[in-house]
Amino acid sequence: MHRRAFLGTMAGLLVAPLGAAAQSGSKVYRVGYLSTSGSVFEAFRRALRDLGYVEGQNLVLEVRLAHGRLDHLPALATELVRTHPDVIAAVSSPAIRATKQATTTIPIVMAFSGDDPVRHGFVKNLGQPSGNITGVALVADELAGKRVALLKEMLPRATRLAVLTQIDHPSAASQTKAAQETAKSLGIEMDVAPVHNSRDYEAAVAGIVKQRASGLFVVSNPTFFGDRERLATLATKNRLPMMCEWREMAEAGCLMAYGPIISDLYRRAAEYVDKILKGAKPADLPVEQPTKFELVINLKTAKVLGLAIPPSLLSRADEVIQ
């Protein structure tokens, strides 16, 4: 189905059942949602529902998805603004940037930012955003080094690792740099495998294998999250232990994942939306950062790869997938 046809159909499904709410005279809120993929949209929808916002009763969700094409985000953001939402939730830094460029008046909630929102000009500072943007900030650079260190601990004999990065993603360079710096401090080489989109995965992994890297670190971004099953299958097929960010990626077959809990991030994002719909201004709502992180190890993948998990990692794992 054509992308715009899909979006139109989806918007129609979300808007159609509002007759009862309109007839009752209750307030119907319009919430926009912009992301590079739809992989975590349901988590946001559930979080809103838990707060009492139900489609067909008091909520219209305007959803725009770029399906991994970052270059589509500006047009989608403009299209979303034209629906006149009460607030827009933007997922990932590219979506936040596109939405920021599309409006300076509609409140924007960072469902999460993978970059430092101050450094990238989204907010003035975390305590006092001062503009029309607030929400949840996940500084991926700081976690990149931690993940590389965990991968090295998993592969103590490794002398060369690789990092899979998306060229057009704004945090790709900083995450890659952080990964390389950690690798250097550990005395190992770090090859960079850049991709534009999912069509480049096979060639990138082939290059990693050719360079004889012992393991693969995947930078944080929604495109890779949406393609998690494909990436996990590709890595396992090529006998590459893969370190990822989210629990869901480990559940899809990634060897390890270390990062915050998605449901927590979207619950907090929904709470920001709730506060704004009730009259709060983004400028008065401090930006939050996740404080809880989890380490998940996929023992099934480890067995396929013939790896023995070091006891030091097993003892620290929050969950081991059997």
Instruction: Output the domain CATH number for residue 210.
Output: 3.40.50.2300
Residues 96 and 155 both lie in one domain: no
- Assigned token pair, 59: 């909520």
Residue-wise over 19-43: b if at least 16 C-beta within 10 A, else e? Answer: eebeeeeeebbbbbbbbbbbbbbeb
Nearest CA among 123, 142, 143 for reference residue 133? 123
Please, are residues 318 and 294 in contact by the beta-carbon 8 Å criterion? yes
Q: What is the domain extent for residue 130?
A: 3-139+262-284
pLDDT over 90 (residue 5): no
- pLDDT tens, residue by residue, 222-268: 788 889 999 999 999 999 999 999 999 999 999 999 999 888 889 99
Residues 189 and 307 both lie in one domain: yes
pLDDT for res 25: 55
Residues 135 and 53 both lie in one domain: yes
Residues 197 and 298 both lie in one domain: yes
Portion of the chain with pLDDT greater than 90, in percent: 71
Average pLDDT value over all residues in the chain? 89
- Assigned token pair, 22: 């309109």
Residue, of 126 and 20, whose pLDDT is higher: 126
Q: In the structure, what pLDDT confidence band is assigned to residue 2 with cuts at 50, 70 and 90?
A: very low
Residues 76 and 213 both lie in one domain: no
* Residue 282: DSSP 8-state: G
- pTM equals 0.81
pLDDT for res 222: 78
pLDDT for res 168: 78
Residues 82 and 113 both lie in one domain: yes
Residues 64 and 148 both lie in one domain: no
Span 86-101, mean pLDDT?
94
Q: Which amino acid is at 213?
A: A
pLDDT over 70 (residue 17): no
Please, are residues 236 and 286 in contact by the beta-carbon 8 Å criterion? no
Residues 55 and 200 both lie in one domain: no
Residues 116 and 34 both lie in one domain: yes
pLDDT for res 19: 44
- pLDDT tens, residue by residue, 204-222: 999 999 999 999 999 988 7
Residues 50 and 119 both lie in one domain: yes
Residues 117 and 8 both lie in one domain: yes
- pLDDT tens, residue by residue, 51-73: 999 999 999 999 999 987 889 99
State how many domains the chain has.
Answer: 2
Nearest CA among 108, 58, 56 for reference residue 81? 108
